[in-house]
Structure 1
Amino acid sequence: MTSTATPDAETRPSGWVELLPPRLRDFARLARFDRPIGTWLLFWPCAWGLALAGGLRDHWPLLLWFGLGSVAMRGAGCVYNDIVDRDLDARVERTRDRPLASGRVTARAAWAWLVMLALAGLVVLLQLRWQAQVVALGSLALVAAYPFMKRITWWPQAWLGLTFNWGIPVAWVAVAEPGWALAALYAAGIAWTLGYDTIYALQDIEDDAMAGIKSSARALGDGAQAGVALFYVVTIALLAAAIWLAHPDYLAFFVLAPAALHLAWQVAGLGDRSPANALRLFRSNRTTGLLVFAGLAVVGLA
């Protein structure tokens, strides 16, 4: 049997998506269940916000709800993105075999699947206090606009940063009052996303140029490695600022050392800009999110 997975899918003979019947497999791939890295990148900012706001001790079950919400809403966002981008996806080698772009799933069926995923997200929303619910609903405008950003700006990665890190204010407001520490943490998440999604965009830089798709990787060109380095330096600086604003203790800064070293490793690895290496470095941000969370958890529980 010929695999219809996109090159960046995590497919293994024993992978659960591969064991599904072909029709269900297409819907699972439409929601990117075969590419869990996106779910992690949506979940970790939620965990960051909960940790630094001091919510881990008394509100730890929210981590589980945020995990479920990340699966559902990342899936819904991917389905929506593919509905909007199905014509563009058909012109890019890495994405032309996606279920919608290839015609294996109809737009009508995709909309129905999106509604089902959104309903799962609604269940999670109802677990939050009303202030956090209001904040969470604010993300809908960001999600709706994101697929169009690559058509109108060279920096769609910045908009993705606004969108993918919205879980920070949602989690924070779910357990505490907002403040400048929250603002700094959210800004750190945006800078982080600018870095890792620029790395991701290096995979498609040639196809994007032919299709007229804009990206930070194309905008930076040969300066992509330096650009990612700058984004990551800003990320660590803003994380340090968030920690200081929440818990002013110089010793707290040391909790960021593992994440800083990991990001430096990513930048050094960009000497090889091949698609395979770019994907490997991009996926490693699952570890970045974990390292930052561990540090913020130490600070928040202190």
Structure 2
Amino acid sequence: MSSDFQNVVPDTEHKGLVGLLPAVARPFAVLARFDRPIGWWLLFWPCAWGIALAGGAIDRWDLLLWLLLGAIAMRSAGCVYNDIVDRDLDRQVERTRSRPLASGAVSLKAAWIWLAILCLIGLIVWLQINGVAKLVALGSLALVAAYPFMKRITWWPQAWLGLVFSWGALVGWLAIVPEFHWAMALLYLGSIFWVIGYDTIYALQDREDDALVGIRSSALRLGDNVHFGVLNFYLMALSSWAAAFWMLRPHWLAIVTLAPISLHLLWQVTTLKSADGDDALAKFRSNRFAGLLMFLACLVLGQAG
């Protein structure tokens, strides 16, 4: 891998694995964010929560694997689509100007073809779920298509991302129990607040560049109140999840299962250095572990029901 290509994305992970690919494939891997697996996990965890809370994590372990594959494919497709839409803006931001489309390493036509291939993989996963879950999964497409434009029209694109990245909680639940339940809705609502919180932390890296080129974000909107804002989003997430758990099992032990993730989210907020981009990135990535803690809580409650 050339020294120029190694720096395509400054917050990349696993550069060595991408470097093992043929030179012609590397830009496509980076375009799909294969070098940044945190996004797969953040999209997958709400799916897993829905399956686990509905009581299907053990019996339908295969569905967890299918939805993980779907999360990888559709997160990658979303990134490709986002870069197609944002290619001109990306050229103006230091952290993103060397992305494959913005830098010219991948042509626009090739990006559209790559997007179609990733969507085909998503279609194969879609065929593995029941009819109700299929219909609900289709409902996310409009949200995904609109997301790249939100940063141009609202200070809260993170809220829209919450709608998108949390949608799997509905799909996962309905894939096991194909009927509405308020616990499912509250699980989804809590996930939205969680996403707003962690993506506000992520946006701290780009505040200066975003302000210069006119990109809006919750990190800019909150200003010096980022810690207070993120704390409140996390508290709303935990409150929603506690309400969901209580609806399924009205016992104080049900709420105790949320203690590990509560402590983790509190640690994120209290130790966050908002002026340090590296620390913000580390705190953002730690939500992969937060998702696991929430999954374990859902698994315990779902199997106890």
If the length of structure 1 is used for normalisation, what is the TM-score?
0.98
Query: Does residue 1:37 correspond to 2:38, yes or no?
Result: yes
Contact 2:204 2:274 in 1 (8 A): no
1:209 corresponds in structure 2 to 211
5 Å-filtered alignment, 1:48-87, equals 48-87=49-88
Q: 3-state DSSP class of the match of 1:273?
A: coil
Q: CA RMSD in A?
A: 0.9
* Equivalent-residue separation in structure 1 for 2:24 and 2:263 (angstroms): 43
Listed one character per residue, the Cα deviations across residues 100-150 of structure 1 (whole Å, up to 9, x for unaligned) are 000110111000000000000001000001111000011100000000000
Listed one character per residue, the Cα deviations across residues 196-228 of structure 1 (whole Å, up to 9, x for unaligned) are 000000000000000100000000000011100
1:91 corresponds in structure 2 to 92
* Equivalent-residue separation in structure 2 for 1:110 and 1:40 (angstroms): 23
* Equivalent-residue separation in structure 2 for 1:225 and 1:99 (angstroms): 33
Equivalent position amino acid for 1:224 in 2:
V
Contact 1:69 1:124 in 2 (8 A): yes
Paired residue total: 300
Contact 1:132 1:170 in 2 (8 A): yes
Contact 2:84 2:108 in 1 (8 A): yes
Equivalent position amino acid for 2:257 in 1:
V
1:160 corresponds in structure 2 to 161
Q: 3-state DSSP class of the match of 2:226?
A: helix
How far apart are 1:168 and its partner, in Å?
A: 0.6
Question: For structure 1, which segment, 16-25 or 287-296, has the greater mean C-alpha deviation from structure 2 after superposition?
Answer: 16-25
How far apart are 1:301 and its partner, in Å?
A: 0.5
* Equivalent-residue separation in structure 2 for 1:241 and 1:272 (angstroms): 31
Equivalent position amino acid for 2:13 in 1:
E
Equivalent position amino acid for 1:273 in 2:
A
Gaps of at least 5 residues in structure 2 are none
If the length of structure 2 is used for normalisation, what is the TM-score?
0.97
Equivalent position amino acid for 2:262 in 1:
A
1:123 corresponds in structure 2 to 124
Query: Does residue 1:280 correspond to 2:276, yes or no?
Result: no
* Equivalent-residue separation in structure 1 for 2:238 and 2:282 (angstroms): 21
Listed one character per residue, the Cα deviations across residues 230-286 of structure 1 (whole Å, up to 9, x for unaligned) are 001111111101111122221111111110000001001224531101000000000
5 Å-filtered alignment, 1:1-302, equals 1-2=2-3, 3-12=6-15, 15-176=16-177, 177-302=179-304
* Equivalent-residue separation in structure 2 for 1:271 and 1:115 (angstroms): 39
* Equivalent-residue separation in structure 2 for 1:246 and 1:83 (angstroms): 43
Equivalent position amino acid for 1:20 in 2:
L
Question: For structure 1, which segment, 248-257 or 38-47, has the greater mean C-alpha deviation from structure 2 after superposition?
Answer: 248-257
Listed one character per residue, the Cα deviations across residues 83-109 of structure 1 (whole Å, up to 9, x for unaligned) are 000000110000000000001101110
* Equivalent-residue separation in structure 1 for 2:91 and 2:23 (angstroms): 20
* Equivalent-residue separation in structure 1 for 2:154 and 2:212 (angstroms): 16
* Equivalent-residue separation in structure 2 for 1:273 and 1:295 (angstroms): 33
